[in-house]
Structure 1
Amino acid sequence: MKRQLINPPATGALYERLHFSQATRVGDMIWVSGQVGVDPTTMTPADGMDAQARLAFDGVRTVLEVAGAGLRDIVELTTYHTDLRGDMPVFSRVKDEYLTDRYPSWTAVGVSQLALPELLVEIRAVAVAGSGDRTGIVTSRT
């Protein structure tokens, strides 16, 4: 299998300047780099958790679409928060608007800082292209 670098057209400068891809696809697996709440037109962080979370999830969605997948194909979500306890209710509400069912595995991590001092959250994801339509929901109780 070959490795495919995924970089939507608007992110070309990031690839050249910072030397990383927005995602990497090998077969049906897609690893999405951390997406943050930066307004793509002004390149400045949005104000507040709600706005930053929406922009970050929009970034994840865009990268996955370019890679040939969608939000329903996410199998693992990792989020990094500068105020894990304080911002979690707002973040969770936004997350549930974007990931409405077939919830992925999720790890939320509190961190002291992100790439820019104004950033509140960063979202990275792992997806399996095409799995969102085929995967059943299995629950187990012991």
Structure 2
Amino acid sequence: MTKPVIVVPKGMEFIRDEIGYAPAVLANGTLYIAGQIGRDDSRQLVTDKEAQFVQVFENMKRVLAKAGGDFDNLVEMTSYHTDMRDLPLFMQVRDRYMKGVLVAWTAIGAAQLCGAPGYFLEVKAVARID
């Protein structure tokens, strides 16, 4: 058993250093991606709903790439939504990034995300990295 590796893409160091958790942890070929939200590189919340969903997937893409993978490596995903009526839009954005990739997916309704208004989506995932 190898020691887990903390995965921190460039620009996400503040998550580890200031907030105190890892964007992802790679342990024995399994990548555990912490909940990704719609903040851009300047740490600003993307306010347009579709653009925020895109930002979430862009952030996941960066984490996967830093670990040596991509969306094809995903095996499980959990999405948290402040409005479950957003699922069709979420699935449209998801399908742009996960073309033909099927994962075990759970969608959960949440009253609020990140303790602040304006967050519509958070996604955590698990991937296999060979």
Output the TM-score relative to the length of structure 2.
0.93
Task: Specify the alignment match of 2:15 in structure 1.
Answer: 14
Instruction: Determine if contact 2:6/2:24 at 8 Å carries over to the other structure.
Output: yes
Q: Distance in 1 between matches of 2:88 and 2:63?
A: 26
Bigger-Rg structure (1/2) = 1
Task: List per-residue Cα deviations over 1:48-84 (Å, max 9, x = no partner).
Answer: 3211110000101100110111111000010000001
The residue that corresponds to 1:68 in the other structure is 68
| Unaligned ranges ≥5, structure 1 | 131-142
Contact 2:71 2:101 in 1 (8 A): no
How many residues in Structure 1 have an aligned counterpart in Structure 2? 128
Per the TM alignment, residue 40 of structure 1 is displaced from its structure 2 partner at its CA by 1.6
Distance in 2 separating the partners of 1:7 and 1:72? 20
Alignment of 1:1-142 (within 5 A): 1-41=2-42, 43-84=43-84, 86-115=85-114, 116-130=116-130
Residue 56 of structure 1 aligns to which amino acid in structure 2?
V
- Would you identify which runs of 4 or more consecutive aligned residues in structure 1 move more than 6 Å? none
Identity of aligned residues (%): 30
C-alpha separation between the residues in 1 aligned to 2:4 and 2:120? 31
CA distance in 2, matches of 1:33, 1:78: 10
Residue 133 (structure 1) aligns with: none
Q: What amino acid is the match of 1:122? A: E
* Alpha-carbon offset, residue 102 of structure 1: 2.7
Distance 2:14 2:48 in 1: 26
SS at match of 1:92: helix
Runs of at least 5 residues in structure 2 that lack an aligned partner in the other structure: none
1:46: Cα distance to partner? 1.2
